[in-house]
């Protein structure tokens, strides 16, 4: 009797294909989508706000830039508006920590590393 060991599935995921499908869905849902951001626009935003777009978001914003309620307009919003939007996740965490005592133990390690630097 031979035992057959299943081979691991190999999956090839394309962020570009995902981005095309997502932008198509937004168009069909009547969301206004402008031309995608150029490399120079990505560079300008990333240097202005000292962050890098994550690898799953970058292809979406290259494919098309959703604009309107609920979407940050990386191309034409003021720096102040974008600073407010980029700080919202941090403010939300701080609110949970201060009001509800929410804390994750792994943060202690991160804080110690940051303080040591």
Query: Tens digits of per-residue pLDDT, 25-61?
Result: 999 999 999 999 999 999 999 999 999 999 999 999 9
Mean of all residue pLDDT scores within the chain: 87
Residue 84 sits in the same domain as residue 68:
no
Instruction: Place 99 in a pLDDT band, splitting at 50, 70 and 90.
Output: confident
Question: Is the model more confident about 12 or about 86?
Answer: 86
Q: Cα(78)–Cα(81) distance, rounded to whole angstroms?
A: 5
Check whether 94 has a pLDDT greater than 80: yes
In contact, 59 and 15? CB cutoff 8 Å: yes
Instruction: Place 111 in a pLDDT band, splitting at 50, 70 and 90.
Output: low
Residue 19 sits in the same domain as residue 34:
yes
Domain count, the chain: 2
Q: Please indicate, yes or no, if residue 2 is contained in any of the structural domains.
A: no
Check whether 1 has a pLDDT greater than 80: no
Residue 71 sits in the same domain as residue 24:
yes
Range of the domain at 22: 12-77
Tokens of 78: 């003021």
Residue 90 sits in the same domain as residue 63:
no
Residue 16 sits in the same domain as residue 70:
yes
């Amino acid at each position: 009797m031979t035992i057959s060991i299943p081979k691991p599935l190999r999956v090839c995921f394309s962020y570009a294909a995902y981005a095309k499908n997502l932008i198509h869905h937004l168009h069909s849902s009547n969301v206004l989508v402008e031309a995608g951001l150029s490399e120079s626009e990505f560079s300008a935003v990333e240097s202005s706000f000292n962050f890098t777009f994550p690898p799953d978001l970058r292809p979406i914003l290259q494919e098309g830039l959703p604009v309107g309620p609920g979407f940050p307009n990386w191309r034409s919003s003021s720096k102040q508006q974008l600073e407010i939007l980029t700080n919202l996740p941090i403010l939300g965490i701080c609110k949970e920590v201060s009001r509800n005592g929410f804390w994750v133990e792994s943060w202690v390690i991160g804080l110690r590393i940051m303080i040591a630097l």
